[in-house]
A and B are shown apart, each in its own frame.
Chain A
Amino acid sequence: MLIKPIKLKNKISIINALTKVLIIVISVFLIPWIVNRVSIKDLDNQLIENLDKTYSLVEQYGIEEFIKQGGDQQAFGSYNIFKEEYISIEKVTDTTLYEEIDYSRRTIEGETFDYRVISATIESQGSYYLIEIGKSINSILAFQRLIRKFTFYFLLVLMAVTILFELAITQYLLRPFGKIIERLKSSNHPKNFNYTPVKTSTADFKDLEENIHGLMRKIESAFNEERDYISNISHELLTPISIIKTKLDNFLNTTELTDEETEKIIESKVTLGRLTKMVRTLLLLSRIDNEEYLLADRVNLNELLAGLGTDFQEHFEQKNQEFELKLPDQQVEIQGNRELLHILFFNLANNAIKYTPDGGRISVHLNLEKDIPVVVIQDNGIGIEEKNLPFIFTRFKKFQESGNNFGLGLALVKKICDYQHFSIEVYSKPMEGTRFVIRCK
């Protein structure tokens, strides 16, 4: 089961509130009940005392004092003026002797009273008498109701006050925690991490922060090492390439060579060029991974895309390809890195030209869909087979028997799109053409 995660401070508040409600509920029932028990117990003791008194009276004066033998009245009863207590003695035929205390409701002169009644039978001169002594518990019940009401209101107010207080306290106590989380969230790269310590007197948070800082520093140094490593690797690779290239140039420059020999040297230079491009593209990919490019430029897409026409003018002319550029009337500006954006569209256009036969057509369209710039680069070239489509952005994946494809160009395109938070889609059919759609969100 999926439950939406709740913030710690909210959880604490909810749990606090729930326990308080529970306490109120329990208190509202329990306190009056206890009061009731205690009062009744006290009442019972009084009743027992009264019964004992009655026994001693009966013993002292005889039952006749209360009930005249053979008289009209075979019962004695007395209430006090507010009917808070009463005593009754009557002759009974039942011969079992017992004593018990119980509740009893009586209606006297139209008024209903709840009594606690102690009943006992005694034997006197061969007759059995039932003595009942009752005390009204109305006052106790009233008191109980009062207590319940009072407890309820009192606890309600207490709860409101304590909940507010605790809310403030937890907010205050957890603020450093929130700050630590905020900092983690806001730094998308270890080098942007804010290392100033968060003010807190809570040991756990201090531990947490110190550990996070430790980890961050480790990641940061790993990043730096990686960057240095890439920089060094590229230096290590590009320097020997440079030596070979210079030697070949010098050789061509100073030696009388036949055409065939010269051609071989130039072929070597072409291979060297491929190697160079690969090293540089790998370097570029790693630099993007390392987030070394700032997305701080305002880039005019109209100008950038129109520039492709000039950039590739000789390519179109050489391959007799038609170049169609459709731009909206308004100028479209996006936030990003100018160099990377140029590489992105340059690579896509270059790809389109490369995989479109002579006499084909390349089109570049810029549209606005709900204010989102959408660039569509389409060709009517050889296309990509459907089974290969999922892999076109994978590094060094090579499908066509073309010596010019290193499988890095589109990987770079994807990498730049991800870095710029663009979405890229590709639609292609073999022998019909390919369409790349980039949404510059």
Chain B
Amino acid sequence: MDQSIRGPGFLKLFVNAITMRILIVEDEKSLAEEIALFLRNEQYSCDIAFNGRDASEELAANLYDFVLLDIGLPDYNGLDLIKEAKNYNSEAYFIVITARGELDDKLKGFNSGADDYLAKPFSILELHSRIQAITRRKFGQSSSIIKFGSFALDISKLQLLHQETPVNLTKKEYDLLSYLVLNKGRVLDRLQLVEHIWGSFYEDDFDSNYIDVHIKNIRKKLGEFDQSNYIKTVRGLGYKFEDA
């Protein structure tokens, strides 16, 4: 099962080599293309619509697994687009992107069938992590255990096990560890880690050294079972998870 976490793109194997098809609906061409570039690197198949009309046509013509929808489209009410799309793409998952960053909007989003919500500016790694989370929900529990060394990370139960013994991690520690594990081999800088565990915008996301405390605690807790150094410090930059 170790092969199930073979770095970026492992998700493809994760879901039996099905290529996920994603529609990006974003009026800002540069942003849409940047997101597509990243997702294609991650072996997703991406289409882009720059306005609501095109998106509507694409949704009627193709089946998508994910729709990444900027709610602030110039020609379309994004929420209407979700309702409309559910007619053709009832299986599609909607991740709504908004620059309004409001709880009210968020709830509105969920009521109208959005499955997740990201506030601009978001990190594409965070976006990826949301896509992965939904994919895991979609494809059931069998593939939701990731093993490294003698540990097993049960993503559906939000738990780390060491040979059937639960490792006592706090919620933040678990979130950090799973984020690192899911981005195995990739350097995550402190900002990205902070953004993942906090998300809330009023946090000082630029003063991120305190993340070191969590990493230290996680290492200590893992070290009680296994002396291997899974979380590597990349000097001054951040951290990287590597299977020993």
Contacts and interface: CB of A to CB of B under 8 A. Distances in A.
Interface in A250-281: 250, 252-254, 259, 262-263, 266, 269-274, 276-277, 280-281
A36 interface: no
B210 A315 contact: yes
Interface string B205-221: 11111111110000000
Given A249-B123, A277-B201, A404-B204, A269 B189 contact: yes
A272 B122 CA distance: 11
Contact of A314 (B35, B120, B204, B214): B214
A339 interface: yes
B120 to A, nearest CB: 4
A276 B213 contact: no
A283 B120 CA distance: 13
A360 to B, nearest CB: 15
Contact of A259 (B41, B208, B210, B236): B236
A273 B213 contact: no
A262 B234 CA distance: 11
Interface residues of A, number: 46
B202 A343 contact: yes
B217 to A, nearest CB: 8
B125 to A, nearest CB: 7
B27 to A, nearest CB: 9
Nearest to B121: A242
Contact of B101 (A263, A280, A317): A280
Interface string B8-49: 000000000000000000001011001101100100000000
Nearest to A240: B28
A273 B205 CA distance: 6
A246 B237 CA distance: 18
B202 A272 contact: no
B213 A318 contact: yes
B193 to A, nearest CB: 11
B2 to A, nearest CB: 23
A404 B124 contact: no
Interface string A270-309: 1111101100110110010000100000000000000000
B207 A276 contact: no
A327 interface: no
Interface of B: 28, 30-31, 34-35, 37-38, 41, 72, 99-104, 120-125, 172, 186-187, 189, 191-192, 201-202, 204-214, 234-238
Interface of A: 231, 234-235, 238-239, 241-247, 249-250, 252-254, 259, 262-263, 266, 269-274, 276-277, 280-281, 283-284, 287, 292, 314-315, 317-318, 339, 343, 346-347, 350, 354, 404
